């Protein structure tokens, strides 16, 4: 009896211990907080994207981290397009200006090759919770590694979405008239040809009160063109010769359609960026747009009590916006945000623990649900979270579309010195939007790409390209 009781007690203690270990392992946030307490009193220097991204750190996660661990956070705001050069320059100067780095997936290869990222595997081994890695959607998990090593942790899973006005698309008169004119049902367009037709139909009927679409036409154009180009069947390079093929027929068709479809967009849409497109959607001026995921929260008016978002026009389209994959069904996984540790940091452990905390299941869910911070779902648990699904009436549809986008999306081109190729592509697209002949713009782009490839080295670039092109998300079937 006594033996049985003893065994029972041992069993209970063992189970409690196992349970305790399991509980600790299940929660990367708690583990990071506990370990970080030994670095209390230090202050981390973090480079973050200027604006709402940085505000999350300054207003919410920084103060919370300080309260939990005693570690302060000093945020430096840097415009997105300057994040890469600024962080690289600081690394080259060995300044140790930042402990925590904010990076895009397509920069990982270049930064690793230049020794600008601290390998994180030893830290993950020491502090991490590998079970939480299984929860990351595969496309975004892929971003964190390069040649088998982990260099960054994802905190933002960007996917382009098509936002459309359900009230316009569901209107029986519109449905009837559209079908009579085009011979198929009015629905979120599945192809770019249909996008042009739906856009024109709505503009013809409602303009100037409402236009068929208002797309982002300046800024980040490499993302938008890359998506369209690949949807049209384009490939960036000839894999044998590494000659640029952006000026192939799919490229010319994609850019020509992009320019032609400006006709059904509001006057001056050529100059629209993210802000103009968001304003037009929220104020009910456009029936469709393609943009990043936070817009769903803002169009739903979830930002109403956020002072930092007071610049977002009050939504006139609450409960009227539907979500779909952009035409072609393969949205660009446009940038996304990863956090990394600078090899020049003097507080590497504390920096790692901060990013582990932000990346953890527990903390990241809070952040992807906030209107502030521009963070978007990247974990399976985010898509399936009942809290998130109930955040607004159609949030479940939104999360389902985001998940599909993550599974079927195109990953950004990531080769040697990708940013140079992006810069050229962005300029070529904006030149065409500004009036240059699309074919001439793409021919010039191809020449610039070929010169870049020659300069970097055809064989080196070919190896990097083939490695990237082998990913299923590079070119979808």
Partner 1 sequence: MVSSKISHIKPTRDTPSFKHILIAPAVLIMLVMSVIPLVFVIVVSFQRLSMSDQITSFEGLVNYWRIFSDARLWEAILHTLTITFAALPVELLLGLLLAFHFVGDRPLKRLFVALLIIPSVISPMVAGSMWRLMFDDRYGPINQIIGWVAGEHISILWTINSAWVYPAIIVADVWQWTPFMFIILLAALANLDREQLDAAAIDGASSWRTFVEIILPAIRPVMMIAILIRGLDLIRMFDIVWQLTRGGPGSLTETISIYAYIRGFQEFDTSYIAAVVVLLMILFSAILVFTLKKMEIAR
Which residues in this chain contact partner 1 in the complex, by CB under 8 A? 81-82, 85, 88-89, 110, 113-114, 218, 267-268, 270-271, 416-417, 419-420, 423, 427-428, 430-431, 433-436, 441, 448, 451, 456
Residues 52 and 371: their CA atoms lie apart, in Å, by 9
141 or 436: whose CB is closer to partner 1? Answer: 436
Report the half-sphere exposure of 65 (CA within 13 A, side-chain side): 31
The CB-of-85 to partner 1 minimum distance in angstroms stands at 5
135 or 417: whose CB is closer to partner 1? Answer: 417
62 or 426: whose CB is closer to partner 1? Answer: 426
The CB-of-68 to partner 1 minimum distance in angstroms stands at 37
The CB-of-225 to partner 1 minimum distance in angstroms stands at 13
The CB-of-274 to partner 1 minimum distance in angstroms stands at 15
Residues 59 and 75: their CA atoms lie apart, in Å, by 10
Query: Under the phi-then-psi rule, with left for phi > 0, alpha for psi from -120 to 50, and beta for the rest, what region is 146?
Result: beta
Given a contact cutoff of 8 angstroms between Cβ atoms, the answer to whether 102 and 86 are in contact is: no
The CB-of-277 to partner 1 minimum distance in angstroms stands at 13
146 or 178: whose CB is closer to partner 1? Answer: 146
Tokens read off for 223:
């993302």
Tokens read off for 71:
């570690």
C-alpha distances in angstroms, 45 versus 53, 155, 418? 15, 18, 27
Given a contact cutoff of 8 angstroms between Cβ atoms, the answer to whether 412 and 333 are in contact is: yes
254 or 402: whose CB is closer to partner 1? Answer: 254
The CB-of-322 to partner 1 minimum distance in angstroms stands at 26
The CB-of-443 to partner 1 minimum distance in angstroms stands at 12
17 or 455: whose CB is closer to partner 1? Answer: 455
Residues 21 and 25: their CA atoms lie apart, in Å, by 6
For residue 208, cis peptide bond before it (omega within 30 degrees of 0): yes
Query: How many helices (H) does the chain have, and how many strands (E)?
Result: 24, 12
The CB-of-356 to partner 1 minimum distance in angstroms stands at 29
376 or 412: whose CB is closer to partner 1? Answer: 412
256 or 270: whose CB is closer to partner 1? Answer: 270
Given a contact cutoff of 8 angstroms between Cβ atoms, the answer to whether 217 and 280 are in contact is: no
The CB-of-434 to partner 1 minimum distance in angstroms stands at 3
Residues 175 and 169: their CA atoms lie apart, in Å, by 7
Q: Which residue has the tokens 């010169």?
A: 451
Contacts from 303-306 at CB under 8 Å and sequence distance 24+? Answer: 303/371, 303/372, 306/371, 306/372
Contacts from 442-449 at CB under 8 Å and sequence distance 24+? Answer: 442/246, 442/247, 442/251, 442/252, 442/255, 443/247, 445/244, 445/246, 445/247, 446/243, 446/244, 446/245, 446/246, 446/247, 448/424, 449/237, 449/244, 449/246, 449/421, 449/424
244 or 428: whose CB is closer to partner 1? Answer: 428
Given a contact cutoff of 8 angstroms between Cβ atoms, the answer to whether 164 and 321 are in contact is: yes
Residues 105 and 208: their CA atoms lie apart, in Å, by 40
The CB-of-399 to partner 1 minimum distance in angstroms stands at 34
242 or 433: whose CB is closer to partner 1? Answer: 433
């Amino acid at each position: 009896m006594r033996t049985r009781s003893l065994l029972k007690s041992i069993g209970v203690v063992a189970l409690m211990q196992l349970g305790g270990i399991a509980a600790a392992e299940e929660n990367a946030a708690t583990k990071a907080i506990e370990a970080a307490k030994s670095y209390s009193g230090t202050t981390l220097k973090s480079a973050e994207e200027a604006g709402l991204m940085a505000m999350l750190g300054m207003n919410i996660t920084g103060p919370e981290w300080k309260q939990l661990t005693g570690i302060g956070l000093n945020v430096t705001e840097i415009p997105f397009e300057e994040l890469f050069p600024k962080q690289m320059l600081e690394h080259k100067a060995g300044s140790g200006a930042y402990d925590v780095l904010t990076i895009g997936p397509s920069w990982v290869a270049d930064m690793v090759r230049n020794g600008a990222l601290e390998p994180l595997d030893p830290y993950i081994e020491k502090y991490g919770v590998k079970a939480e890695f299984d929860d990351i959607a595969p496309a975004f998990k892929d971003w964190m590694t390069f040649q088998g090593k982990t260099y960054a942790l994802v905190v933002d899973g960007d996917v382009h979405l098509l936002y459309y006005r359900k009230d316009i698309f569901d209107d029986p008169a519109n449905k009837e008239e559209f079908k009579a004119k085009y011979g198929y049902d009015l629905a979120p367009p599945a192809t770019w040809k249909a996008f042009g037709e739906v856009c024109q139909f709505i503009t013809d009927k409602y303009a100037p009160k409402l236009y068929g679409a208002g797309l982002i036409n300046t800024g980040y154009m490499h993302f938008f063109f890359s998506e369209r180009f690949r949807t049209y069947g384009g490939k960036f390079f000839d894999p044998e010769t590494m000659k640029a093929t952006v000026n192939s027929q799919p490229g010319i068709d994609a850019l020509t359609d992009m320019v032609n479809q400006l006709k059904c967009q509001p006057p001056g849409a050529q100059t629209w960026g993210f802000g103009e497109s968001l304003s037009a959607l929220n104020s009910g001026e456009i029936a469709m747009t393609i943009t990043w995921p936070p817009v769903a929260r803002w169009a739903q008016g979830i930002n109403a009590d956020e002072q930092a978002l007071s610049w977002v026009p009050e939504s006139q389209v609450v409960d009227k916006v539907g979500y779909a994959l952009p035409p072609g069904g393969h949205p660009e996984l446009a940038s996304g945000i990863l956090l990394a540790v600078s090899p020049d940091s003097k507080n590497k452990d504390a920096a790692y623990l901060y990013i582990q905390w932000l990346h953890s299941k527990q903390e990241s869910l809070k952040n992807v649900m906030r209107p502030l911070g521009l963070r978007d779902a990247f974990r399976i648990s985010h898509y399936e979270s009942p809290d998130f699904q109930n955040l607004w009436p159609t949030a479940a549809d939104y999360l389902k579309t985001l998940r599909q986008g993550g599974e079927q999306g195109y990953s950004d081109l990531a080769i040697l010195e990708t940013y140079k190729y992006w810069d050229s592509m962005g300029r070529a697209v904006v030149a065409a939007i500004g009036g240059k002949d699309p074919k001439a713009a793409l021919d010039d782009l191809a020449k610039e790409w070929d010169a870049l490839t020659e300069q970097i080295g055809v064989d080196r670039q070919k190896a990097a390209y083939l490695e990237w092109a082998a990913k299923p998300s590079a070119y979808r079937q």
